[in-house]
Structure 1
Amino acid sequence: MTLALSPAARDALEDWLSAQKSLQGAAANTLTAYAADVRDFLVFLTFHQGGPQGLAPLTRISISEMRSWMAGLRAEDVGARSVARKLSAVKSFYRWLGEREGFEPTAVLSTRAPKFEKKLPRPLSVDAARNLIASVEAQSQTPWVAARDVAVVTLLYGCGLRISEALGLTPAHLPIGDVLRIIGKGNKERIVPVIGPARDAVEAYLRLCPFDLTQDAPVFRGVRGGPLNPRSMQQLMAGLRLQLGLPATATPHALRHSFATHLLAAGGDLRAIQELLGHASLSTTQAYTSVDSVHLMSAYNKAHPKAH
């Protein structure tokens, strides 16, 4: 499919991806998805217009071509959520291309994404979270692996870290103190308080870890000494779901949702939780929580500037 792109279009795509990585701090998985979505769109234009397109035809894209592209996706039974994601990537590419080439990509930017129902995260109950953490150690007969898994799960739930953030900790973060300095999405830095059980769990793992924790490797290791793969934690959670009768939504990321929800339910300030999670928007933090509407509105009234 890449052969259908003109050299100019292919170079523009690579330049945009480089900009996303260096300027926006996009993660590797995000860049892979961006590349696939925009490349597919450019290939569509190639076939739709009857041949490889240089940059000039790309700047003259029409509303009818955008409609044809989206109609084609629907004909292939691509879901509304996926179409919206693809359109978002294409819009981002065209914003960048428009600035670089000096044109207004109105046809692209004015295209509306299909509506879809956002799936709200489903955090664990407090009791389920406690039972899960208490059950982690028994999932491995290898003491250092068991200690590692307890440490990672406790960081996810106790500190609200993303799985990538927990597995990205390096010896530079050691010894774990009262706070962690985390570089999250978009290279945004935040300070996260570390609760005692999380600190103790990490220290227990460090005492048992059989590998040399040098400055250039992650703290959490796989059984062969390489970086711990997120897949290992997903498999751990899958086993715990079966053992404890938890729903399929009980994933490593659900522990981060649970962290936010339980803090808010205990009277935590919504804006403070927003800072702890590293969210740019308060509405994103609200989507992470699952509390009764009365409690939520009370928290909003206390946090929202218009309420004062």
Structure 2
Amino acid sequence: MQPEIEAFIRALTKASRASRNTVAGYGRDLADFRAFLLTMPSASGADGEPNGDVDVALISADHIRLYLAHLMKSASRATVQRRLSAIKAFFRYREGTTGAPSPARALRSPKLERRLPAILQPSEVERLIEADTGDNSPATLRDRAIMETLYSSGLRVSELVGLNWRDIDDEIGMITVRAGKGDKDRVVPIGEPALEALMAWRRVMPVAWEADGPVITNLRGRRLTTRSVEKIVANRLIRAGLASSITPHGLRHCFATHMLGNGADLRSIQEMLGHASLATTQKYTHVSMNHLKEVYRRAHPRA
């Protein structure tokens, strides 16, 4: 099975619509599926494969169902759905290259629980951004630029750390997000406060900036990781005195919800967020409706 997974990953890498994150995620998901199958003799033949691998031809829908049931004991529905998507994609590829029917074709993904994204109020976002006002050290100026940019443009954290200076047009206030989710480029607005924060960081960067160099770096000049940004946001929440576990992605939710609440239309928000489907963007209407219901409940005499 391992050689076939590797062939699938190579084919997926060449596909123009597949982002690096998608390819890496599918690789991890299929490796986990293979590891599960290695514990099942029925997936590797009576005597097992000579190299200790899984015989893909022996994988049935029942093997996949057993794997999904195993996952459901500890993983979220979103994780289970993603793993099944990877398995379906792998067998679709195999069907196209070998003609062997896919055992995953008739399997359906579990329905996702509808959970509304956690958000901060605008005043709380301001507290988060202003947490270190007065401190002009390079690390602090960088962290402020991170907060401002995430909230100002609604970027995914992977898109933020992937930015190069040439992607920021400070004259017209726009950012080009290159190879975002789905490997699609898009252009999004960025506000003056965020631009000022980015320029303040650029002036004190420990390593001289270059047009093709990273925007967000550590203090040694290397591109920051998504995990490092998550830690920066978590630490800043503590300094701001906010009892919230919001993540960098949560600031993206704040961007969309506050835009919607202030009159932006869903289509524009969809474009700025880089959502392929309007249905994905529509979850923010539920957040706004909950807020309206709460206002109504507090204000109406007969609510």
Tell me if TM exceeds 0.5: yes
Distance 1:204 1:112 in 2: 50
Partner of 1:26: 19
Give the counterpart of 1:132 among 128, 131, 148.
128
Measured against aligned partners, the alpha-carbon deviations of 1:116-143 in whole angstroms (never above 9, x if no partner) come to 42432111111111111111446xx562
Give the counterpart of 2:177 among 165, 171, 182.
182
Query: How far did 1:265 drift?
Result: 0.2
Contact 1:137–1:149, Cα closer than 8 Å, also in 2: no
Moved more, 197-206 or 271-280: 197-206
Distance 2:161 2:71 in 1: 36
1:40 matched to 2:32: yes
Give the counterpart of 2:193 among 179, 187, 197.
197
Give the counterpart of 1:111 among 107, 110, 113.
107
1:150 matched to 2:148: no
Q: Could you say if the C-alpha distance between residues 214 and 67 of structure 1 is closer, same or farther in structure 2, counting changes exceeding 3 Å?
A: same
Distance 2:2 2:266 in 1: 44
Distance 1:158 1:295 in 2: 24
Letter in 2 for 1:70: L
Distance 2:256 2:168 in 1: 25
Greater per-residue helix proportion? 1
Contact 1:167–1:220, Cα closer than 8 Å, also in 2: yes
Match of 1:110, SS state, is coil
1:170 matched to 2:164: yes
Taking structure 1 as the reference length, what is the TM-score of the superposition? 0.81
Measured against aligned partners, the alpha-carbon deviations of 1:17-58 in whole angstroms (never above 9, x if no partner) come to 122223133234x43432232123234445332323999963
Partner of 2:217: 221
Query: How far did 1:251 drift?
Result: 1.2
Measured against aligned partners, the alpha-carbon deviations of 1:199-257 in whole angstroms (never above 9, x if no partner) come to 11111111221312234431222012211223332222212322334344311111111
Partner of 2:274: 278
Q: Could you say if the C-alpha distance between residues 116 and 181 of structure 1 is closer, same or farther in structure 2, counting changes exceeding 3 Å?
A: closer
Taking structure 2 as the reference length, what is the TM-score of the superposition? 0.82
Partner of 1:292: 289
1:259 matched to 2:255: yes
Letter in 2 for 1:41: F
Distance 2:54 2:216 in 1: 49
Distance 1:41 1:197 in 2: 46
Query: How far did 1:288 drift?
Result: 4.3
Distance 1:70 1:255 in 2: 32
Contact 1:234–1:251, Cα closer than 8 Å, also in 2: yes
Letter in 1 for 2:138: W
Moved more, 32-41 or 164-173: 32-41
Query: How far did 1:197 drift?
Result: 1.1
Distance 1:231 1:69 in 2: 29
Distance 2:9 2:212 in 1: 26
1:64 matched to 2:57: no
Contact 1:177–1:194, Cα closer than 8 Å, also in 2: no
The unaligned stretches of length 5 or more in structure 2 are 294-303
Match of 2:177, SS state, is strand
Distance 1:112 1:71 in 2: 13
Q: Could you say if the C-alpha distance between residues 16 and 147 of structure 1 is closer, same or farther in structure 2, counting changes exceeding 3 Å?
A: same
Partner of 1:15: 7
The unaligned stretches of length 5 or more in structure 1 are 1-8, 297-308
Q: Could you say if the C-alpha distance between residues 161 and 73 of structure 1 is closer, same or farther in structure 2, counting changes exceeding 3 Å?
A: closer
Contact 1:218–1:227, Cα closer than 8 Å, also in 2: yes
Query: How far did 1:268 drift?
Result: 0.4
Count of residue pairs brought into register by the alignment: 283
